[in-house]
Amino acid sequence: MKIACKIIVSGTVQNVFYRRFIKEKADNLGLCGFVRNLQNGDVEIFVEGDKNKIKELIEEAKKEPKYSLVKNVTIEEKKWVGESKEFKILSF
């Protein structure tokens, strides 16, 4: 089943290559969407794809790659519309 999710990750997740970490995981799982820094210091992930693969990405997002500290992960399930064709790292 295909779904979409908006995921907000807070903690020490900017300027520590967290977006690159998420992109690599999403690419490996064959997911589409984007990851970007938010002005408040959080990271936003919007992802579309197979529900089980998205669950895997969420579990990876909770891990702490080198130099990062994940304090909170908020997940909001969205309706899949298939707009994304790849996974990108976006700027503000």
Tens digit of pLDDT at every position of the chain (92 positions): 899 999 999 999 999 999 999 999 999 999 999 999 999 999 999 999 999 999 999 999 998 788 899 999 999 999 888 878 999 999 86
Asked, for residue 87, whether it belongs to a domain, the answer is no
Q: One of 19, 20, 28, 36 is an active-site residue; which one?
A: 19
For the chain, the domain total comes to 1
Asked, for residue 17, whether it belongs to a domain, the answer is yes
Q: One of 37, 40, 52, 72 is an active-site residue; which one?
A: 37
Question: 52 an active-site residue?
Answer: no
Range of the domain at 32: 2-78
Asked, for residue 69, whether it belongs to a domain, the answer is yes
Asked, for residue 91, whether it belongs to a domain, the answer is no
Question: 20 an active-site residue?
Answer: no
Asked, for residue 83, whether it belongs to a domain, the answer is no
Task: Report the CATH number that the domain containing residue 73 is assigned in CATH.
Answer: 3.30.70.100
Environment class of residue 61 by beta-carbon count within 10 Å: exposed (0-12), middle (13-18) or buried (19+)? buried
